[in-house]
Amino acid sequence: MNKPLRRVAVFCGLLVLALLVRVNYVQYVQAGQLSSDPNNRRVAINQFAQPRGDIIVDGKAITGHTTTTGSDFKYKQTFTDGPMWAPVTGYASQAYSTSMLEGVEDKFLTGNDDRLFFNRTVDLLTGKQKQGGNVVTTLNAKAQAAAFNGLGKKKGAVVALDPRTGAILAMASTPSYDPNSFAGNSLTDEKNWNAVQKKSDKDDPTLNRALRQTYPPGSTFKLVTAAAALESGKVTDIDSATDSPDPYMLPGTTTPLPNEGNIPCKNASMRNALKYSCNSVFGKLGNEVGLDGMVSEAEKFGFNEEQFIPVRADASNFDTKMSDDHVAQSSIGQFDTTATPLQMAMVAGAIANDGTLMQPYEVDKLVAPNLSTISQTSPKKMSQPLSEENAKKLQSMMETVVDSGTGSNAKISGVTVGGKTGTAQNGVNNEGIPYAWFVSYAKTDQGSPVAVAVVVEDASAKSDVSGNGYAAPIAKKVMEAVLDK
Amino acid 411: pLDDT: 96
| Rounded-to-integer distance, Cα 197 and Cα 178, Å | 13
**Secondary structure (DSSP) of 205-242:** TT--HHHH--B--GGGGHHHHHHHHHHHTS-S-TTSB-
Amino acid 20: pLDDT: 81
* 181 catalytic residue (yes or no): no
| Rounded-to-integer distance, Cα 441 and Cα 350, Å | 10
DSSP 462: S
Tell me the torsion sign for CA atoms 204, 206, 210, 211.
Answer: negative
Tens-level pLDDT at each residue, the chain (485 residues): 577 777 777 788 888 888 888 877 777 676 666 666 656 666 667 677 788 999 999 999 999 999 887 777 788 999 999 999 999 999 999 999 999 999 999 999 998 888 887 776 766 666 677 788 999 999 999 999 999 999 999 999 999 999 999 999 999 999 999 999 999 999 999 999 999 999 999 999 999 999 999 999 999 999 999 999 999 999 999 999 999 999 999 999 999 999 988 899 999 999 999 999 999 999 999 999 999 999 999 999 999 999 999 999 999 999 999 999 999 999 999 999 999 999 999 999 999 999 999 999 999 999 998 889 999 999 999 999 999 999 999 999 999 999 999 999 999 999 999 999 998 766 555 556 789 999 999 998 877 899 999 999 976 655 555 788 899 999 999 999 999 86
| Rounded-to-integer distance, Cα 346 and Cα 300, Å | 11
HSE, side-chain direction, 13 A CA sphere, residue 469? 12
Amino acid 19: pLDDT: 84
Given a contact cutoff of 8 angstroms between Cβ atoms, the answer to whether 297 and 231 are in contact is: yes
Amino acid 419: pLDDT: 97
Given a contact cutoff of 8 angstroms between Cβ atoms, the answer to whether 337 and 319 are in contact is: yes
Q: Tell me whether the omega of the peptide bond preceding residue 87 falls within 30 degrees of 0, making it cis.
A: no
Which of 219, 316, 463, 466 is catalytic? The answer is: 219
| Rounded-to-integer distance, Cα 476 and Cα 454, Å | 10
Amino acid 471: pLDDT: 94
Amino acid 112: pLDDT: 87
Q: From the CB of residue 323, how many other CB atoms can be counted at a distance below 10 Å?
A: 14
Q: Is 343 exposed, middle or buried (0-12, 13-18, 19+ CB in 10 A)?
A: buried
What is the total residue count of the chain?
A: 485
| Rounded-to-integer distance, Cα 261 and Cα 283, Å | 17
Contacts of 339 (CB under 8 A, 6+ apart): 214, 215, 216, 217, 220, 221, 303, 316, 317, 333
Report all structural domains of the chain as residue ranges with CATH numbers, in order of start.
Answer: 211-366+379-483 (3.40.710.10)
Burial 1-27 (b: 16+ CB within 10 A, else e): eeeeeeeeeeeeeeeeeeeeeeeeeee
Residues 418-467 pLDDT 10s: 999 998 766 555 556 789 999 999 998 877 899 999 999 976 655 555 78
**Secondary structure (DSSP) of 357-398:** EEPPB-EEEEE-TTS-EEEE----EEE--S-HHHHHHHHHHH
Q: Is 428 exposed, middle or buried (0-12, 13-18, 19+ CB in 10 A)?
A: exposed
Amino acid 11: pLDDT: 80
